[in-house]
Amino acid sequence: MNGKVIGAVAVLLVAVLLLILGGGAQEEQKRTLTGPMTGGCQLDEDAVPEPMRAPLRRAAATCPEATGCILAAQLETESNWNPDAYNVGSQATGLAQFIPTTWAAYGVDGDGDGTADPRDPPDAIATQAIYMCHLVDFVTERTGLTGEIIELALAAYNAGPGNVERFGGIPPFAETTNYVTKIRDLASGKYTLERSALPVEGLHGRAAEVIRFADQQRGVMYAWGGGTLNGPGEGFGIDAGVVGFDCSSLVRYAYYQGSGQTITLPRVTDAQYDATKSQPVPVDRLQPGDLLFWGVLGNIHHVALYVGDGQMIEAPQSGQTILVTPIRTGGDYFGATRVFGGPLDATAVAA
């Protein structure tokens, strides 16, 4: 049994023990939290100063809650993108306005130059994401808090995690409430790339729901081996530490959630093709919700979800985000299949 399997068994055992020993009550309290904002945000890099774009892109893969849009909006709010910003009273320094004690605990060398400096944008942005993700964990693990996870984490960044715990949510400080509001407005406005509408107007039923769930993940990073039935997850290998989906986990997630958790596709592309190949679909007969595959029989390596009007949504490859593109039927395009009405659908309905 390898380390990953042992770890998974350990996590399962801990979960069972928590339920037996009162973990259920803790979970009940946590239900007052909402979030995380993992999808629906594709960073508009044109709104970000050019030297900050690559560091921000890397930082956005730290955890799903701290999206590129949130981090960019937070940097504008903290320093207006000024690496030399300095607050005499608090000694907060740099783009992300770290005070000395917080920097000493969390500061990292984001660009590999051998030093961790809060005035160096790559270092500041990498540390900002790490600290925000720590605060996400903090508020998630505390019982009795009310609010959206990312907003509580932002409030903790501004007012301190102790105050969030003390007040059971966002502290009633004008500075903090204005801080959280400004960041959410900037994140959903200025720093979110306006997305073209998918061609599903007038489409109803399960196909529309499957596409909607996939579309909510636009802008989320590709992560090989990452992604679960319930959302983005950490990748493996070349994408270790990256939180997102790979191609097959994206369509699997979309079908599971969009079908009301009644259709569960296999995890990998080869198996997804095998499970749906009884309903092949020619290109000129494609319908929204159909799956498109690339590769050769026995080695199908990519899958995408057809959304209509000659377009598909896909998790393309490492280093890229989930996006909508025109369908590609050249190269090693293998074919398309239909899920609805097939064996997986029939099994789900029968169950």
Which of 188, 220, 248 is the C-terminal boundary of a domain?
188
Pick the catalytic residue from 41, 69, 133, 247. 247
| Domains contained in the chain, number | 2
pLDDT tens-digit map of 237-283: 988 988 999 999 999 999 999 999 999 999 999 999 999 999 999 99
CA distance 130 to 98: 12
Query: What ranges make up the beta strands (E) of 142-258?
Result: 147-148, 221-222, 233-234, 243-245
Residue 5, in any domain of the structure: no
One domain for residues 59 and 120: yes
Q: Give the residue from 54, 52, 56 showing the smallest Cα distance to 41.
A: 56
pLDDT-derived band at 351 (thresholds 50, 70, 90) equals: very low
Structure tokens that stand for 101 in this block: 């004690």
One domain for residues 244 and 157: no
Highest-confidence segment of 28-37, 89-98, 145-154, 229-238? 89-98
pLDDT at 189 over 70: yes
* Rounded-to-5 percentages of helix, strand, coil across the chain: 45, 15, 40
One domain for residues 135 and 234: no
How is 240-253 classified by DSSP, letter by letter?
BT-EEE-HHHHHHH
pLDDT tens-digit map of 53-67: 999 988 987 887 888
CA distance 204 to 139: 37
Q: Over the range 265-282, which residues count as b (16 or more CB within 10 Å of their CB) and which as e?
A: beebbbebbebbeebebe
Percent of the chain with pLDDT over 90: 65
Residue 121, in any domain of the structure: yes
Helix (H) or strand (E) holding 271: helix 269-276
For strand 323-326 and strand 33-34, is the pairing parallel, antiparallel, or unpaired?
Answer: unpaired
pLDDT tens-digit map of 122-169: 999 999 999 999 999 999 999 999 988 899 999 999 999 999 999 999
Of the listed ranges 79-88, 183-192, 222-231, 298-307, the one predicted with least confidence: 183-192
Residue 2, in any domain of the structure: no
One domain for residues 106 and 241: no
Domain holding 111, by residue range, is: 29-188
For the residues 302-312, what does the mean pLDDT come to?
A: 93
The pTM assigned to this predicted structure is: 0.57
Measure CA 84 to chain center.
31
Residue 18, in any domain of the structure: no
pLDDT score for 288: 94
Which of 158, 188, 218 is the C-terminal boundary of a domain?
188
The CATH number given to whatever domain includes residue 320 is 3.90.1720.10
pLDDT at 316 over 50: yes
By the 8 A CB rule, do 166 and 20 touch?
A: no
Decide: residue 30, CB within 10 A, 0-12 exposed, 13-18 middle, 19+ buried. Answer: middle
Structure tokens that stand for 146 in this block: 């009310």
Residue 220, in any domain of the structure: yes
One domain for residues 181 and 238: no
One domain for residues 51 and 142: yes
One domain for residues 119 and 234: no
The CATH number given to whatever domain includes residue 159 is 1.10.530.10
Residue 19, in any domain of the structure: no
Q: 27 an active-site residue?
A: no
Of the listed ranges 94-98, 104-108, 159-163, 204-208, the one predicted with least confidence: 204-208
Q: Give the residue from 302, 60, 67 showing the smallest Cα distance to 183.
A: 67
Percent of the chain with pLDDT over 70: 83
Which of 146, 161, 188 is the C-terminal boundary of a domain?
188
pLDDT at 35 over 50: no
One domain for residues 184 and 241: no
Q: How high is the mean pLDDT of the chain? A: 85
Residue 9, in any domain of the structure: no
One domain for residues 181 and 46: yes
Pick the catalytic residue from 41, 69, 133, 302. 302
One domain for residues 35 and 182: yes
pLDDT tens-digit map of 152-161: 999 999 999 9
CA distance 213 to 38: 12
CA distance 322 to 340: 23
One domain for residues 172 and 212: no
CA dist list (Å): 188 to 68, 122, 284, 324, 351: 11, 23, 37, 20, 40
Residue 36, in any domain of the structure: yes
Q: 204 an active-site residue?
A: no
One domain for residues 236 and 164: no
